[in-house]
């Protein structure tokens, strides 16, 4: 199901938060932090970056509550801010320049995955997803999980619908390769500090 469901935040909480009620701010955070973090993590993978982006998203949401016009759902508005932040990060030169740290981050991911109670099948799939190129991963997640259409994804990336369709097909092709039983991703049996 999509990471962020609508109807989680009552309208009066949003109203109180707009007037600066700190309890309402915290309630919004507590209700939405997990789905927003999940969405960001699936797009950018690196936990430390996802935490930064999560912080940025909530600071922007809570600071700009007066800009929320209640035309769409509040959760949808938060989701669009989270996706924008994540895609901006993926497009940024900062993201590309940090590639040299990838080895450290990947080991951290494996340890984190093993530390949690995750079904082996889920762990394999999550790892296969993480190993996709950033654009393909973003497209497959936005289309297959978040229910965005190819036209919407194309707009987000400033590209054509053919781009979105070909990225999705390529992503599925790579996922199939990575999840093949004989050559597939390792299940959570990796030797690490936390396992």
- Chain residues binding other proteins by CB under 8 A are 1-3, 22, 25-26, 29-30, 33-35, 37-38, 41-42, 46, 48-52, 54-55, 58-59, 62-63, 94, 98, 101, 104, 116, 118, 121-122, 125-126, 129, 140-141, 144-145, 165-166, 168-170, 172-173, 175-176, 179
Task: CB nearer to other proteins: give 57 or 77.
Answer: 57
Task: CB nearer to other proteins: give 113 or 191.
Answer: 113
CB of 64 to other proteins, least distance (A): 11
Q: Is 21 left (phi over 0), alpha (psi -120 to 50) or beta?
A: beta
| Dist CA 121 CA 143 (whole Å) | 21
Task: CB nearer to other proteins: give 71 or 103.
Answer: 103
| Dist CA 137 CA 44 (whole Å) | 9
Candidates 101, 130, 156; CA nearest to 43 is 130
Task: CB nearer to other proteins: give 30 or 191.
Answer: 30
Q: What would the two tokens of residue 139 be?
A: 């497209």
Contact 153, 139 (CB under 8 A): yes
Query: What is the DSSP-derived secondary structure letter of residue 181?
Result: T
Task: Name the phi and psi angles at 117, rounded to 5.
Answer: -85, 90
CB of 126 to other proteins, least distance (A): 6
CB of 54 to other proteins, least distance (A): 6
CB of 36 to other proteins, least distance (A): 8
């Amino acid at each position: 199901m999509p990471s962020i469901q609508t109807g989680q935040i009552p309208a009066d909480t949003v109203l109180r938060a707009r007037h600066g009620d700190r309890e309402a701010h915290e309630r919004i955070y507590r209700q939405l932090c997990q789905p927003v973090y999940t969405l960001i993590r699936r797009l950018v993978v690196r936990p430390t970056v996802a935490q930064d982006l999560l912080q940025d998203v909530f600071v922007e949401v809570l600071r700009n509550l007066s800009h929320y016009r209640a035309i769409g759902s509040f959760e949808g508005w938060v989701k669009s801010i989270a996706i924008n932040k994540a895609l901006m990060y993926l497009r940024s030169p900062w993201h590309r320049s940090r590639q040299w740290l990838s080895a450290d981050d990947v080991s951290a991911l494996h340890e984190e995955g093993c530390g949690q109670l995750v079904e082996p099948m889920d762990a394999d799939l999550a790892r296969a997803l993480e190993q996709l190129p950033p654009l393909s991963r973003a497209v497959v997640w936005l289309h297959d999980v978040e229910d965005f259409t190819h036209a919407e994804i194309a707009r987000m990336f400033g590209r054509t619908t053919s781009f979105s369709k070909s990225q999705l097909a390529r992503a599925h092709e790579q996922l199939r390769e990575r999840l093949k039983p004989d050559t597939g991703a390792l299940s959570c049996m990796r030797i690490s500090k936390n396992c």
